[in-house]
Structure 1
């Protein structure tokens, strides 16, 4: 099996997840410079903002990095054009199909890696001609699917012949080894980077990550078909109360309006949307990204599996 780092020209088979308003040049550049694949989250950005983030990332690192494209965005055409004109050679996609853009992306030599929640969708992406897929389980933070990581990765790796990157619940060398055992070519992590020195979120958010455990997250939005995993706080408690009372979706959306910015910009840990995954219980300190990577690889190399 060829690992994803060999295919992309990066040092480690580790992707950084695209976290809205968090995965900017500051974090993506640090991850790429430390041997992983940094990914700029373009969701919510204008074309000019993305252009500037790409420029800033290149000032931090000369190594490969990617841009994540949320395909439901109204300005998606402009975002793709910026990626092409900026000569970014790797993209990940979510919230839709990249079919519309595949001809010009492949003509420009761009590596396309969609994030998928099922084996069925992974097969459709392979048929489109994508280069790899990220199979993200429901343990992940933010918007999630319905299948846990282990059965999802097991199904996707059997369903497709292209490389599969496992996501949802990864943070250390042990989980990297588990991903390889399931046939994955690498891993994607998001939550672990929230506690990195380079992550551009307020100290209050980082402290909330450190004090949380594996049972500290809740999933809101299940009833309206848009499940999101976040750290439990006053806002989510109120949201779930209303959701259980079958309050209309419009009322629930009023409650969460601007909640992501409250968390990642203002540092409001009670009323903000603190998107994070169930791996929280395995994060105990704030470290530089380079140290996070080094410790993962060192732990992986020290693992000795039982001989059967």
Structure 2
């Protein structure tokens, strides 16, 4: 299925695996790439050296294009951009709008720039700065999310820009792909659906916890890190929701220290990144401090398999998922169903 997006990034199918922290490593990304989609490495939870290693391993596993998700507010964002250029990575995606200078540097070296946006005005801004495409996530999506449903947010963004738009939030099958294209999207992006595949490194017991959830099995909480964050309903999340404001702040400071040791990041750099995040997302200082919770709480659940002490980001779509296909089986199934739907609509 050729669209403006597949031609832009050089993949067979208009399907994107999002850059999920602690999940989207070389094994998952290369499996998606080999199956014809665009896999994206999650570098926000990697050190620079870990990212370099992950890029090398992904290149060893696939000859097809793949991407890397970068934190635009990271202290070493410019160095990571140069790494992508040196290694010939096809796509750079961003959760926050990258600076105009970063977009220019990537584009002049042939790297496709795809920021994620949550509003039409954000899409207009990055398009004016030279972004090649945007991913727009509706409120159904997992992790940090907004309040507007994909069915409303997507057409507003499509109508606002002339670059390819990829839809995220609530997608898992071929019907969703055709629906998104009917709105004007050039592809779909999925996180939870790819997390629940055989190549995902998430522990099996955690995958079973995801598969057991129904459509009401997620909640958008601000108690995890101070920002709206869609996660699975677990005992830990329920306790956070019932608790006051002081305990999460204390936990955030402790987790900041744990993440600093794990990542090798200096306290000064963490403070600088926190200030940049505060300005970029217009956060209060309390929200900025609580944002330190995210990496370690997600790692505890998604890497260590400790659902009692960890948080599990998830889209609402988890309530419709009951299997663990390979990435190839998943992508082939989505495209086959999309063809059936197209034929039925003729």
Moved more, 289-298 or 86-95: 86-95
Q: CA deviation at 1:234?
A: 1.3
Q: Which residue of 2 aligns with 1:250?
A: 249
SS at match of 2:148: coil
SS at match of 1:23: coil
SS at match of 1:92: strand
Which ranges of structure 2 fall in alignment gaps of 5 or more residues?
Answer: 256-292
User: CA separation in 1, counterparts of 2:104 and 2:189?
Assistant: 26
SS at match of 1:72: coil
Contact 1:170–1:187, Cα closer than 8 Å, also in 2: yes
1:282 matches 2:281: no
SS at match of 2:309: coil
Cα distance change, pair 156–10 in 1 and its aligned pair in 2 (3 A): same
Q: Which residue of 1 aligns with 2:277?
A: none
Q: CA deviation at 1:62?
A: 0.2
Contact 2:219–2:231, Cα closer than 8 Å, also in 1: yes
Q: CA deviation at 1:248?
A: 7.1
Q: Which residue of 1 aligns with 2:335?
A: 297
Contact 2:13–2:37, Cα closer than 8 Å, also in 1: yes
SS at match of 1:219: strand
SS at match of 2:159: helix
Contact 1:93–1:114, Cα closer than 8 Å, also in 2: yes
TM-score, normalized by length of structure 2? 0.84
Q: Which has the higher helix share?
A: 2
Q: CA deviation at 1:90?
A: 1.1
1:89 matches 2:97: no
Cα distance change, pair 196–223 in 1 and its aligned pair in 2 (3 A): closer
SS at match of 1:159: coil
User: CA separation in 2, counterparts of 1:282 and 1:237?
Assistant: 22
- 1:42-191 alignment, distance < 5 Å: 42-191=43-192
- How many residues get paired? 305
Cα distance change, pair 4–222 in 1 and its aligned pair in 2 (3 A): farther
Q: Which residue of 2 aligns with 1:264?
A: 302
User: CA separation in 2, counterparts of 1:180 and 1:108?
Assistant: 30
1:193 matches 2:194: yes
User: CA separation in 1, counterparts of 2:301 and 2:187?
Assistant: 30
User: CA separation in 2, counterparts of 1:86 and 1:306?
Assistant: 43
